[in-house]
Structure 1
Amino acid sequence: MTSPALSVLDLVPVRSGQTTGQALAATRSLARVADELGYRRYWLAEHHNMPAVAATNPPVLVALVAAETERIRVGSGGVMLPNHAPLVVAEQFALLEAAYPGRIDLGIGRAPGTDPLTSVALRHGAGGVSDDAVNHFPQYVDDIVAMMSADGVAMQVMGRVQALRATPRAESAADLWLLGSSDFSARLAAARGLPYVFAHHFSGRGTAEALELYRSEYQPSERHRKPHTFLTVNAVVAETQDEADRRALPNLLTMVALRTGQPLTPQPTIEEAEARGLPEEHRALAEQMSERWVVATPEQAAKQVVDLAATYGVDEVMLNPVAGAHEGSPLDRAPHREETLRLLADAL
């Protein structure tokens, strides 16, 4: 199999001693590196009320990154639709597409991306209560597709039918992707003829089954005649295996804390993570998570990425570069995340 195209998923991590502004500067720098190296797309996640993650608002981040880059596609990975009114999402991405035509992806998920309290705060007066938002997810997806189109969607209010458009004169629409970690979004994407991505970097289980379900049930649409998908994976690449393992430790400790209900903090530096260590009772969980990551030297990482693409039948792999930083690293950059992108691109 030929080498797959490479893309980037960014959660805008915030590390110890780093401000939000510095984390955003690091993301802009990482995006410029990805653009220069020929990566296909750069997606930004939505997570809320987390000390180690600054990716709270994908449309704002997409605008920041698109303005800093020249050719790479920029999108959301993804907007958690139950948190937002569909019209607002459609308007945001219609404007982004108008500003950067042919470069915008709208990835949509139905998970909350946060804790219950924050979900209530997000949805107050917008997406409604949780059950309503999730139950209406398929209709909301259809509405967004229609509202971003030039014709808009016909809405009936008080006996009158009127077109509702996300923007006055759309000449193109952002590509819409459905994201998921279960078979729900796979079935919906197949039925609607939409591109689909399974959250392999987060779940790691059920990937093959979800992709097979999506492909086998796919119904061609006017915009997408064939199923379109790719793979996501956490990655750390360094010149030696020992250094790759060290750089993976800060994010691994953060993920263990998240999964075990420990207090969340900004991501530690490599030295802080080594001093803290991994509790023995959580070692099995950490190994279970990290075995699905690509943590390796350039040659081994390239082989693992090619093997993953072949295993799941995709021609694109989206990396979540999770390399931590050493103490004394520039706060407005993420040198080891940038190096992960460079080393892997050079090795493929």
Structure 2
Amino acid sequence: MPTTPLSVLDLIPISAGATAAQAVRNTVDLARRTEEAGYHRYWFAEHHLNPGVAGSSPALAIALAAAATERIRLGSAGVQLAHRTPLSTVEEFGLIDALHPGRLDLGLGRSGPQLLKERAARPAEPSPQRTTEEGLFIPGGRQLNPDKLLASGRLAAQFALLRQPGAQTPDYGEQVAEILALLSGSYRSADGVEAHPVPGEGADVQLWILGSSGGQSARVAGANGLRFAANYHVSPSSVLEAVAAYREAFRPSATLERPYVAVSADVVVGEDDAHARHLAAGYPAWVRSIRRFEGAIPFPDPETAAGLHWTDEDRELVADRVDTQFVGAPGTVAERLRQLQAATGADELVITTITHDHRDRVRSYQLLAREWQRSEPDGPR
């Protein structure tokens, strides 16, 4: 079998003591370096009002990276359609495609208060943790606290600032259908009016759907014959449910004959296991800030992280993310990634790595790429 491609997911993290401008420059450099190392895609997440994350506009980040690279595919993971329109999304990606044709991935995600309410309303009965026969750890499901969720002033401000007053988000499946129609030139309004975005119509853009569960995103991706990206790094407890629902719903399309799945993983690679654990020391505190609905903090350096106070409640809050972060020497991490690939049947793995020092982050990606190419079946020896 051919080597499973490795790709990159970048939030444009800001390290403690650094600036957003430095984070953006680091991202452009990392895009160049990972292209040189042989990574297949470079994706940008979309986040807002986070003190430690500068990735607020995937389209702009893609344009910056496209100008600095030559071959690597570039994309969004993903554009959050709760506060975007299909037309604006197609036009933005069409504009980039005009100068960088055939390199773009348009990854679409759900977001906004309605999605968070749906997650909070899921049954409170937690699913048990387990280990698959391939050796992949699946943590127990965790229930969002709806009271904390709905009372978060930061989230309320984010939703208010991203949407026009009184705006209502259309059905996600309908938004995806409109994007497909605008790209293909087949769009017709309810009144029969045609719309032809320039640029945008006919753009050589690969469409992806992002999902964290077996819910609407997985079903929409499958029903439309689109590629699907599942989040082990965000929602590890439901990754198997997500990929199974996608495959069950899949119907072949003009662009895809069989299901195609990418699965993400949080990874830190060091020279050895102990070195990697040192580099990853800031990760639990960073996750804790997100889980408290405070917004991601600037990523702490290992020494500062070691001195932070933790309660049992804090540890429980982040346990699923910490326990499913792949941290270690190149061989250690490659083995865990192979377990993830085997358990999910992933066609591709998407790696997201955050360290305090940019050089350590670059080195982590380089070490992993070298080990993956060496150790994967049919990889170069």
Q: Same fold (TM over 0.5)?
A: yes
Is 1:216 aligned to residue 248 of structure 2? yes
Q: Show the counterpart of 1:172.
A: 203
Distance 1:264 1:67, change over 3 A: closer
Shift of 1:154: 2.0
Is 1:123 aligned to residue 158 of structure 2? no
Q: Show the counterpart of 1:267.
A: 299
Amino acid in structure 2 at the alignment position of 1:302:
A
Q: Distance in 2 between matches of 1:223 and 1:200?
A: 26
**1:98–1:171 CA contact under 8 A, matched in 2:** no
> 5+ unaligned residues in a row in structure 2: which ranges?
114-153, 373-381
Q: Distance in 1 between matches of 2:296 and 2:99?
A: 37
Amino acid in structure 2 at the alignment position of 1:119:
F
**1:91–1:148 CA contact under 8 A, matched in 2:** no
Shift of 1:267: 1.8
Q: Distance in 2 between matches of 1:266 and 1:74?
A: 25
Amino acid in structure 2 at the alignment position of 1:271:
E
Amino acid in structure 1 at the alignment position of 2:159:
S
**2:299–2:355 CA contact under 8 A, matched in 1:** no
Is 1:345 aligned to residue 369 of structure 2? yes
Is 1:293 aligned to residue 325 of structure 2? yes
Deviations 1:268-294 (A, max 9, x none): 222221222544442233333211111
Shift of 1:12: 0.4
Query: In structure 1, which of residues 298, 308, 322 is the aligned counterpart of residue 354 of structure 2?
Result: 322
Shift of 1:241: 1.4
Amino acid in structure 1 at the alignment position of 2:182:
M
Q: Show the counterpart of 2:21.
A: 21
Amino acid in structure 2 at the alignment position of 1:343:
L
Amino acid in structure 2 at the alignment position of 1:116:
A
Q: Show the counterpart of 1:6.
A: 6
Is 1:162 aligned to residue 193 of structure 2? yes
Q: Secondary structure at the match of 1:53?
A: coil
Q: Show the counterpart of 2:263.
A: 231
Amino acid in structure 2 at the alignment position of 1:64:
L
Q: Secondary structure at the match of 1:206?
A: helix
How many residue pairs align between the two structures? 331
Distance 1:18 1:210, change over 3 A: same
User: What are the equivalent positions in structure 2 for 1:1-348 lying under 5 Å apart?
Assistant: 3-112=3-112, 115-124=155-164, 129=167, 132-133=168-169, 135-149=170-184, 151-155=185-189, 161-167=192-198, 170-183=201-214, 184-261=216-293, 265-276=297-308, 278-325=310-357, 334-348=358-372
Amino acid in structure 1 at the alignment position of 2:364:
T
Shift of 1:2: 5.5
Amino acid in structure 1 at the alignment position of 2:181:
A
**2:95–2:199 CA contact under 8 A, matched in 1:** no
Q: Secondary structure at the match of 1:208?
A: helix
CA RMSD, 1 decimal: 2.0
Shift of 1:337: 1.1
Shift of 1:262: 5.3
Percent of residue pairs bearing the same amino acid type? 34
Distance 1:270 1:74, change over 3 A: same
TM, length-normalised to structure 1 = 0.89
Q: Distance in 1 between matches of 2:14 and 2:73?
A: 24
Deviations 1:109-130 (A, max 9, x none): 11139822211211116xx63x
> 5+ unaligned residues in a row in structure 1: which ranges?
326-333
Q: Secondary structure at the match of 1:89?
A: helix
Distance 1:68 1:152, change over 3 A: farther
Q: Distance in 2 between matches of 1:170 and 1:281?
A: 51
Shift of 1:315: 2.6
Q: Distance in 1 between matches of 2:320 and 2:249?
A: 31
Q: Distance in 1 between matches of 2:280 and 2:312?
A: 17
Shift of 1:261: 4.3
TM, length-normalised to structure 2 = 0.82
